[in-house]
Amino acid sequence: MALLEVKDLRKNFDSLQVLRGVSFEMEKGETLSIIGPSGGGKTTLLRCLNFLEIPSAGSIAVGGKTIFDAASSRGLSEREIRQNRLHFGLVFQNFNLFPQYTALGNVSLAPKLQAKERPDYKQRRKELFEEIEEKSRELLFRVGLGDKLNYYPHQLSGGQQQRVAIARALALTPDVLFFDEPTSALDPELTGEVLNVIRQLAAEKMTMVVVTHEMAFAAAVSDKVLFIDGGVIAEQGPPEQVLKNPAEERTRQFLRGYEK
């Protein structure tokens, strides 16, 4: 059974149809890359899946359980939306780290707030917080920032900030982790360190969706590539097909822009 199943997802902003029926599936442990021209709806798709926008139509299922269906008569409550979001993590193009917290603070903040909802929070508070901090430290070591635990975001380079953001998203153990152009805001010499972390996660079988303009990277790490254009998936398949030997003219044209 597919871990994530998206069916006929649509999103309008007033009269502008940005997503016009997007459907795809992915298995646990897969890495999926999304490519496509600017304005095609890639960011909007990720925002819909993370409920930063509410889709106008379509459904989303995780592990066979439908967590969102626009056709169901009642909308989701604030609480349900929050629960749904915990299935997913999102790494933003411009990191969005919280400036007043250290790297460690950024990673441990949300898990600590989650811990408050546990019934044994009152008795075990100290213990729980220590566990969370320990886990957060481990995550920062995993992204290669074990020596920057107590640095504030403004003291870190863009690449380091983005790696903190990845650790922060991983701290809530999402089922699927989404990346929206994680290296677009970085100087070219800093993209490698971030891509390496994603590559390492792929090797560890983290389920991921990566919107990217790095074609070589997409070819190397993804199990599947989606080409999104004009709010629809114009082509999808294994990277050898979509990136090397596309069936659609639109895809070919788009990829030609990346040949140098």
Ligand X SMILES: Nc1ncnc2c1ncn2[C@@H]1O[C@H](COP(=O)(O)OP(=O)(O)OP(=O)(O)O)[C@@H](O)[C@H]1O
CA dist 142 to 34, 110, 176, 178, Å? 25, 19, 18, 18
The reply on whether position 115 binds another protein by CB under 8 A is no
Write out the E strands in the chain.
Answer: 4-13, 16-26, 31-35, 57-62, 65-69, 88-91, 176-180, 208-211, 224-229, 232-237
**Could you give the angle at the alpha carbon of 181 between the alpha carbons of 3 and 94, nearest 5°?**
115
The reply on whether position 18 binds ligand X by CB under 6 A is yes
The reply on whether position 44 binds ligand X by CB under 6 A is yes
Please check whether residue 181 is in contact with residue 211, taking contact to mean a CB–CB distance below 8 angstroms.
Answer: yes
The reply on whether position 99 binds another protein by CB under 8 A is yes
d(CA 139, CA 155): 19
* AA identity, residue 143: V
- As measured in angstroms, the least distance from the Cβ of 9 to ligand X is 12
d(CA 254, CA 252): 5
- As measured in angstroms, the least distance from the Cβ of 101 to another protein is 8
Q: Which is nearer to Mg ion, 34 or 139 (CB)?
A: 34
The piece of 2-10, 36-44, 65-73, 96-104 that touches another protein (CB under 8 A) is: 96-104
Interface with ligand X (CB under 6 A), residue from 40, 55, 153, 239: 40
Pairing type for strands 176-180 and 16-26 reads unpaired
The piece of 32-40, 58-66, 67-75, 191-199 that touches ligand X (CB under 6 A) is: 32-40
Cβ count within 10 A of residue 119: 7
- As measured in angstroms, the least distance from the Cβ of 91 to another protein is 9
Per-residue interface string for the shown chain with Mg ion, residues 37-76, x marking contact by CB under 5 A? ------x---------------------------------
Interface residues toward Mg ion, by CB under 5 A: 43
Binding site for another protein (CB under 8 A): 50-52, 78, 82-83, 85-86, 88-90, 92, 94, 96-100, 109-110, 113-114, 152-154, 168-169, 172
Q: Point out which residues bind ligand X (CB under 6 A).
A: 13, 16, 18, 36, 38-44
